Structure 1
Amino acid sequence: MKMILAGSLLVIGVTGCAWQSDPLKVSDNTYQVSANASPARGAATGARQMALTAANKKCDSLGKNIEVTNTETGWAFPTNSVVTVTFRCD
């Protein structure tokens, strides 16, 4: 039974799971957005692409240019990568 559970968790972690947050305003003209991607969705590279796409979309909606001020990469259980992008819309 434990082997089936462990195998199921591994399959779930490697399959195409991905999500991203909406941009969150953290101060004047500064926002953060996070994305999470499994290895099948590109891991850190896929998460970074999703986060930067959302950041660009936010600044475009405001008619402003993007300036990325920080990018952080981390890990989520079991094998996903999480990227948080901090950016300004100027």
Structure 2
Amino acid sequence: MAECSLAAARTDDPTAAVADYRAMVKALMATNGQLGMIGNNLNQLTWHLNKDGAWPHPDVVQRLLARVEASIAELDTAIAQVTEGR
């Protein structure tokens, strides 16, 4: 709420600033939810791979994990930028 108020105070068009801020927060929340679902899928995948004792394509799993970690890092950066008012 405070960030939204500060964004409105820093601009000539407070209504647009608030709308932009809300849109960013909504997009970040949606992205966070999607990453949560991906995490759930990764947990299920890991369970199955460990249950069977075979990792048929460990390179694919490692690339997938790297992409998820990069997405989380990008989301963390975006959240920091929004909360710091950048």
What's the TM-score, normalizing by structure 2? 0.29
Q: Relative contact order (alpha carbons < 8 A, sep ≥ 6): 1 or 2 greater?
A: 2
Whose strand fraction is larger, Structure 1's or Structure 2's? 1
Whose helix fraction is larger, Structure 1's or Structure 2's? 2
